[in-house]
Structure 1
Amino acid sequence: MARQLITFHLGTQSFGLDIMAIREIRAWSPTTRLPHVPHYVAGVVNLRGTVLPVIDLAARLGWEPTSPTDRHVIIVAQIGGQLRGLIVDAVSDIVTAQDEDIQPAPATSTDAVVPYLEGLVALEDRMVMVLDLPGLTTDVDLPEAA
C-alpha cells in the first residue's frame, strides 16, 4: 500500500512523517518554557487559543538542541490523540512510498535515533528516516492541550 510522507530536514538528515498525522505546518514562533519538563520539550505556543506543547526534535533524537531562528518551522502533528509541535529546520516535500519500500531500522544499541524510527526508505539521491511518532512521546508527560 502506498503512503504519503512529508519530508523535512534536521541539519543534513532527511526525515519523513506520515502525512495523515500532520495537522499543519507553522512558521516559527517563540515558545514559553515550562518548569520540570524533559530537556527536549522546548515549551508551549498558542495555537489559536490552544496550548500546544513543542518538542525540539533534534534534542529528542539525542543531537544538539536547536537554536531556532525565523527559518525554522513547527510541524503540528496528531500523536496519540493529542496535538504536539515538532521543531524542524525546514520542510522539503511530499513523497509517496510503498510499505514494502520502508526498510526496518538497523539493530544497534549505540544509535539513539533508532528507537524512534519506523524505518528507512531510499528516495532517489537520499535516505529518509521515517519517524515513529508515538515512540517519540512515550515518556513525555505533558498535560493535554487545553
Structure 2
Amino acid sequence: MKEETLTVSQPFSELMIIRIGEIDAGLGLTEVQEVNDSIDFTEVYAVLDCVRGVLNIRGEVITVLDLRTLLGIEATGPIPDQRVIIVNAGGERVGLLADSVLGVSEVQAQQVESITYTSKGKQSYFSHVCHFDDRVVNVLDIAAILNPS
C-alpha cells in the first residue's frame, strides 16, 4: 500500500470534541449545525452497514451514519450518552452517531498536524491530529466519510 501525506491547511479554528469508542475525535465547528440527543431513528434495510437509519428533524429526513461501525469499533454494551451530530457537508445534511459530546475547544495552528495514512486504511477518515495538553484529537474528514474511495 502506498503512503500519502495530507498537506491541507488548517480548515478550522474550533473543534467539537466527540468520543467514538476510545477515540477522541473532532469536527470542525463550522460544519456542525446541531446536536440531537434523540436517537429515535427509523432503521433502513438493505443499505450500507454504517447507515443506522433516518431521523426526522422538523420535517427533514436526515440519514444517520454510525461512526463506530464506519471506523470498525465494536460496541461492548449500551451507550447511554449517544448523540446525533448534524453536519453540513457541501449542502448535504447528515447525522453522525457518536458515543458522547465532550465539548468545544479552540485550536491554535501549532497544535495541528497533518497525518500520513495508508490509502486503504481507516485512518483516511481523519484529516489532522490536534495536540492538546490533556489529549490528542483526531479530526474527522467529513468529505471522506460521505464519499469513501
- What range is the shorter-chain TM-score in? 0.7 to 0.9
The CA deviation at 1:98 is 2.4
Q: Percent identity?
A: 28
CA contact (8 A) 2:118 2:124 kept: no
How many residues are aligned here?
139
Query: Contact between 1:28 and 1:69, CA under 8 Å: does it hold in 2?
Result: no
Q: Distance in 2 between matches of 1:129 and 1:73?
A: 18
- TM-score for both structures, normalised by structure 2: 0.83
Q: What RMSD, in angstroms, separates the aligned Cα atoms of the two structures?
A: 2.3
- Does 2:147 correspond to 1:138? yes
Report the equivalent of 2:5: none
Match of 1:5 among 15, 23, 26: 15
Given that residues 56 and 66 in structure 1 are in contact (C-alpha distance below 8 angstroms), is that contact kept between their aligned partners in structure 2? no
Q: Displacement of 1:67 after TM fit?
A: 6.5
One-letter amino acid of the structure 2 residue matched with residue 40 of structure 1:
C
Give the AA of the match of 1:25: V
Structure 1 unaligned regions, length at least 5? 141-146
2:96 is the alignment partner of 1:117: no
Write out per-residue CA displacement over residues 64-119 of structure 1, whole angstroms, 9 at most, x where no aligned residue: 2686654211000002211100111111111111244321123346742x101111
In structure 1, the partner of 2:4 is none
Give the alignment partner of residue 87 of structure 2, picking from 77, 80, 104. Answer: 77
Distance 2:148 2:135 in 1: 30
Q: 1:65 to 1:42 in 2, by over 3 A?
A: farther
For the residues of structure 2 that align with 1:70 and 1:58, how far apart are their CA atoms? 14
Q: 1:69 to 1:31 in 2, by over 3 A?
A: farther
Amino acid at match of 1:130: V
Report the CA distance shift for 1:78/1:68 in structure 2 as closer, same or farther (over 3 A): farther
Quote the Cα distance in structure 2 between the aligned partners of 1:26 and 1:88: 11
1:40 aligns with 2:62: no
Structure 2 CA distance for partners of 1:136 and 1:67, relative to 1, 3 Å = farther
| Deviation digits for residues 17-72 of structure 1 (CA, Å, limit 9, x no counterpart) | 10001010010322212232110000101111110100001111122268665421
Find out whether 1:30 has 2:30 as its counterpart: no
1:51 to 44, 61, 66: 61
Aligned partners of 2:33 and 2:48: how far apart in 1? 24
